[in-house]
């Protein structure tokens, strides 16, 4: 069956909250009813019909023809079995609290992509903004499951307070990659700027090109880790360069010893 | 009476209030920014933002939120400067420029005197200053100075915390034993205090330092004194908290308060074109907005000497100088009334905003 398609008519005049367009919430609604859904966030009304031309189809596979950096909360609370593809950019908090499913963004994502993700498989083909998979203001933990792959660069504080799941950044990472990580795995295949893994409790951070992680990471020697090979095999279809990196001999730095010292940074020997 | 100008030309005050209301009311998403005001001014400004369904942000939100982010996502031990003065037997000053951020700091903390309460009373006070700027530590005779640049501070705190927990750090034996010496000083304190300002310490370093405080509290008593941000940020944050449940960077676009430090950051809202009119309030010193767009319809409330050449300007008095003002006091950690030191008849921020609000009727937009 053909996908349920939202075709962008014009650049949104204001930020829009697309959390109301979660596919499971659209089930049973007619196109006319969907067009009446309010997605504006100011005193000016912006309805779905003002922005999109809708062509009904299978809600299991939703497609946005055209994106915008003003598309907030796209794919929020997505459920397993659903798929969203965006042919363009998305705004803040893409995949927020998604329980499962798959989100593909052909362009770039704004800040807090995959914030609170619980199980979705998210792919950003362009760049990601600050706080990739990080917690929102006042939240105690960031992403708690699932996987996010960024083919381009990531902004500052990527992987902040990561709780569980896998983050792959194929390009460069800005300042403070993997800060306050609780657990989970982060890959950076490009350059990482500034501090890495500050206050990391027990997460694993894999850096293709090394980085600056200060005196509270202690050299634990170079190893051929069995678990790394298993993880490489499971990642092979999603990010070949990350899988290749894991298959190499890796030097392990244990830290951040300022907190528990149960985390690690792995770099090729 | 105060003065008002429109693009540099004088206009009558009543016309200015009416014109300000017109500018803000015509906007789809107006922004109330700067917010350099006393408590009454902040209350009026936030009420106006709510009526206009706009957003509000403070000019020192970055610093204010650095402390608040640690407080709300990690936890924070703090005390008042007075408590630190009478009880602390170990004071650790962290970072450069503390005496600029709070000119009265040394007088209030009286670091050269001994504590006078608790078992540590009359014992000599140990003072350590990590990374002071230039000669500023000279003002504290006997202070132990640990040189560190601003970006090394986070590493110093991390190494201390690791050694306090008995965990290894990647330094040679001599440096480790020097760190252990400092850590022993912290551990043996009866009442220790860290003093910092978020203008030089980033949120991660503040979290590290507060983690150190938690670790130290397992065996002794340690706490912190944080130096609040400029232009009344601490007081404005308190007022925003009791009015909306959130600190600045909160919007009322959908009729209820939503807090998002990224979405409602004033400069981003203006530069992205999402906000289409702004009210800039800077009553203490007339600080200018940090955004780069010059074409946004702008209303400025500031002291007379800070009149901008563009847009609508309405003169307001300086809180605690030209009129009595309630402000959050760094000295006591509470709200205090500052009597006017040089009263004039310039309107306060609250009076100016109330006059603007009188011209904005609820739900009248479009």
Q: Which of B77, B32, B68 is nearest to B241 (CA)?
A: B68
The answer to whether residue A183 scores a pLDDT higher than 70 is yes
Fold of B4-60+232-357: Rossmann fold (3.40.50)
Q: Which two tokens stand for residue B235?
A: 């007081």
Of the pLDDT bands very low, low, confident and very high (cuts 50, 70, 90), residue B309 is: confident
Phi, psi values for residue B224, rounded to 5°? -140, 155
| Pair A173, A153: CB distance under 8 Å | yes
Q: How far is CA A186 from CA A121, A147, A155, A157, B16, in A?
A: 15, 10, 14, 12, 55
Stretch (H or E) spanning A75: none
Closest CA to B101 of B34, B225, B203, B199: B199
In the predicted structure, residue B320 carries a pLDDT above the cut 60: yes
CB atoms under 10 Å from CB of A61, counted, come to 17
Give which of B343, B59, B86, B301 is closest to B191, Cα–Cα.
Answer: B86
Q: State mean pLDDT over A176-181.
A: 96
Chain B residues with CB-CB distance to A176 below 8 A: 204
Instruction: Tell which phi-psi region holds residue B232, choosing left (phi > 0), alpha (psi between -120 and 50) or beta.
Output: left
Disruptive mutation site among A45, A111, A215 for chain B (greatest number of B CBs within 10 Å):
A215
* Mean pLDDT (whole number) for B18-27: 95
More reliable by pLDDT, B139 or B363: B139
Alpha-carbon gap, residue B71 to A119, rounded angstroms: 29
- Record: contact B204-A15, CB cut-off 8 A: no
Q: Does residue A196 surpass a pLDDT of 90?
A: yes
Q: Considering only CB atoms, which chain A residues are within 8 Å of B65?
A: 137
Name the pLDDT band for A258 (thresholds 50, 70, 90). Answer: very high
Give first-to-last CA distance, chain A, whole Å. Answer: 49
Q: Which two tokens stand for residue B354?
A: 């109330």
Cis before A256 (ω within 30): yes
Tell how strand B312-315 and strand B4-6 pair up. Answer: antiparallel
- For residue A181, give the chain B residue with the closest CA: B204
Judged against a pLDDT cut of 80, whether residue B365 lies above it is answered with no
Where along chain B do its domains lie?
A: 4-60+232-357, 66-227
- The reported pTM is 0.95
The Cα of A113 is separated from the nearest Cα of chain B by a number of Å equal to: 13
B83-129 pLDDT, tens digit each: 999 999 999 999 999 999 999 999 999 999 999 998 889 899 999 99
Task: Say yes or no to pLDDT of B363 above 80.
Answer: no
Q: What is the pLDDT of residues A23-47, one digit of tens each?
A: 999 999 999 999 999 999 999 999 9
Third-level CATH fold of B66-227:
Dimethylsulfoxide Reductase; domain 2 (3.40.228)
CB contact under 8 A, A256 and B158: yes
**Cα A175 to the center of its chain, rounded Å:** 17
Per-residue pLDDT at B366 exceeds 80: no
- Confidence grade of residue A194 (pLDDT, cut at 50, 70, 90): confident
- Measured in angstroms, the CA of B155 and the nearest CA of chain A are apart by 7
Please report residues of B whose CB lies closer than 8 A to that of A72. 263
**Which residues of chain B have a CB within 8 Å of the CB of A15?**
263, 274
For residue range B326-360, list pLDDT tens digits in order.
999 999 989 999 999 999 999 999 999 999 999 99
């Amino acid at each position: 069956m053909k996908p349920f398609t939202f075709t962008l008519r014009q650049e949104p005049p204001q930020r829009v909250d697309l959390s109301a367009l979660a596919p499971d919430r659209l089930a049973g609604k007619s196109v006319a009813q969907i067009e009446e859904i309010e997605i504006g966030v100011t005193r000016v009304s912006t309805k779905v019909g003002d922005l999109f031309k809708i062509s009904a189809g299978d809600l299991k596979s939703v497609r946005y023809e055209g994106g915008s950096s003003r598309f907030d909360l796209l794919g929020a609370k997505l459920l397993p079995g659903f798929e969203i593809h965006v042919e363009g950019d998305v705004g803040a908090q893409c995949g927020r609290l998604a329980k499962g499913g798959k989100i593909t963004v052909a362009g770039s994502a704004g800040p807090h992509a995959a914030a609170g993700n619980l199980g979705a498989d998210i792919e950003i083909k362009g760049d990601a903004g600050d706080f990739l998979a990080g917690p929102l203001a006042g939240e105690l933990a960031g992403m708690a499951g699932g996987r996010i792959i960024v083919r381009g660069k990531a902004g500052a504080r990527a992987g902040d307070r990561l709780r569980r799941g896998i983050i792959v950044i194929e390009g460069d990472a800005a300042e403070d990659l993997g800060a306050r990580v609780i657990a989970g795995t982060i890959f950076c295949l490009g350059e990482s700027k500034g501090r890495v893994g500050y206050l990391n409790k027990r997460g694993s951070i894999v850096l293709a090109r090394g980085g600056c992680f200060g005196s509270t990471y202690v050299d634990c020697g170079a190893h051929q880790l069995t678990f790394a090979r298993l993880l490489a095999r499971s990642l092979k279809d999603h990010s070949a360069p990350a899988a290749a990196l894991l298959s190499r001999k890796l030097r392990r730095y244990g830290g951040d010893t300022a907190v528990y010292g149960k985390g690690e940074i792995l770099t090729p020997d | 009476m105060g003065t008002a100008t429109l693009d540099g030309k004088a206009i009558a005050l009543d016309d200015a209030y009416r014109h300000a209301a017109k500018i803000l009311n015509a906007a789809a998403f107006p922004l109330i920014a700067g917010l350099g005001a006393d408590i009454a001014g902040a209350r009026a400004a936030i009420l106006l933002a709510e009526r206009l369904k706009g957003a509000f942000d403070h000019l020192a939100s970055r610093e204010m939120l650095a402390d608040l982010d640690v407080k709300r996502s990690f936890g924070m031990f703090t005390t008042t400067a007075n408590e630190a003065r009478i009880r602390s037997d170990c004071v650790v000053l962290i970072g450069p420029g503390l005496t600029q951020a709070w000119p009265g700091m040394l007088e209030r903390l009286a670091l050269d005197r001994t504590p006078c309460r608790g078992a540590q009373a009359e014992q000599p006070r140990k003072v350590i200053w990590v990374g002071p700027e230039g000669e500023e530590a000279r003002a504290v005779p006997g202070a132990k100075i640990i040189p560190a640049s601003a970006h090394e501070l986070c590493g110093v705190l991390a190494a201390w915390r690791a050694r306090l927990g008995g965990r290894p750090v990647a330094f040679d034996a001599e440096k480790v034993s020097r760190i252990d010496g400092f850590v022993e000083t912290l551990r043996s304190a009866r009442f220790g205090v860290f003093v910092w300002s978020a203008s030089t310490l980033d949120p991660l370093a503040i979290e590290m330092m507060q983690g150190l405080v938690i670790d130290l509290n397992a065996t002794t008593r340690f706490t912190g004194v944080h130096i609040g941000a400029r232009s009344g940020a601490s007081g404005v944050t308190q007022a925003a908290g009791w009015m909306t449940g959130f600190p600045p960077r909160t919007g009322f676009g959908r009729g209820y308060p939503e807090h998002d430090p990224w979405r409602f950051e004033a400069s981003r809202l203006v530069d992205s074109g999402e906000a289409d009119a702004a009210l800039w309030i800077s009553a203490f010193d007339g600080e200018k907005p940090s955004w780069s767009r010059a074409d946004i319809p702008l209303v400025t409330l500031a002291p007379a000497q800070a009149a901008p050449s563009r847009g609508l300007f309405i003169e307001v008095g300086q809180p605690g100088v030209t009129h009595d003002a309630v402000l959050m006091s760094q000295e006591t950690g509470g709200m205090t009334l500052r009597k006017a030191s040089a009263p004039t008849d310039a309107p306060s921020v609250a009076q100016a905003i109330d006059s603007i609000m009188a011209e904005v009727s609820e739900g009248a937009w479009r």
